[in-house]
Every structure is written in structure tokens, then in C-alpha cells.
């Protein structure tokens, strides 16, 4: 289990990654965004492998809450930018499938 210092460090690392993800989203850089998603996954896996985090109290707990609020804000802002991209990708895939069906039906006639 991560001790209090390691716990705060882990959340600070996650905050840094989410800030980089948000910046990548703002720049429409999907390659970097994917790289940071993988880094975020690595960080969360490290926490899991360590057995989780300790319950914090006092100033450490307050700091953790602040970090979590910033992480969630970055995540929200990133999703606001990327969800329209995902909708566009979904629409594109749907249109390609539809066109493929049309092409197949017209060649079978």
C-alpha cells in the first residue's frame, strides 16, 4: 500500500498526465493524447499493484481532494473536446459501412 507521501505523489503524477492530455486535446493531437492515456493507465496500474492508497487525514487529505478536483476538471474539459471527435469517427464508420452495403447490393444486381 502506498504511504501518504507516495499517495500524494501518485495523484500529482496523474494530475500532470491529465494536464498533458488536455493540452493534447486542445491541439487536436490524438497521437499524444493516446500516449498520455497509456501513461495514465500505467500510473493507475502501479497504484493497484501497490495495493492501493492509504486513507489520508488532515492537510494530506485536503491536498488529495484538491488534486482529485483538478484531475476531474481536466478530464471533463478533455472529454468536452474529444467527444465531438468520437462522434465524428462514429458517423464516418457508419457511413463507410452503409456505402459498402450499397456497393455490394448494386454489384449483386
The chain-wide mean pLDDT, for the chain, equals 90
The reply to whether 67 falls in a domain is yes
CATH number at residue 51: 1.20.58
The reply to whether 71 falls in a domain is yes
Domain extent at residue 59:
4-83
| Residue 38 predicted with pLDDT over 80 | yes
pLDDT tens-digit map of 76-106: 999 999 887 666 666 778 777 777 777 777 7
Spatial separation of the C-alpha atoms in residues 82 and 76, rounded to whole Å: 10
DSSP state of 54: P
pTM: 0.77
Residue 18, Cβ density class (10 Å: 0-12 exposed, 13-18 middle, ≥19 buried): buried
pLDDT for the residue 34: 93
Amino acid at each position: 500500500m502506498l504511504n501518504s507521501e507516495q499517495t500524494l505523489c501518485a495523484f500529482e503524477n496523474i494530475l500532470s498526465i491529465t494536464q498533458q492530455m488536455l493540452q493534447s486535446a486542445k491541439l487536436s493531437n490524438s497521437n499524444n493524447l493516446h500516449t498520455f492515456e497509456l501513461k495514465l493507465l500505467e500510473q493507475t496500474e502501479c497504484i493497484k499493484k501497490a495495493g492501493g492508497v492509504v486513507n489520508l487525514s488532515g492537510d494530506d487529505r485536503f491536498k488529495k481532494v484538491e488534486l482529485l478536483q483538478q484531475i476531474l476538471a481536466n478530464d471533463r474539459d478533455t472529454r468536452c473536446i474529444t467527444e465531438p471527435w468520437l462522434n465524428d469517427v462514429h458517423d464516418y464508420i457508419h457511413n463507410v459501412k452503409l456505402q459498402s452495403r450499397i456497393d455490394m447490393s448494386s454489384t449483386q444486381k
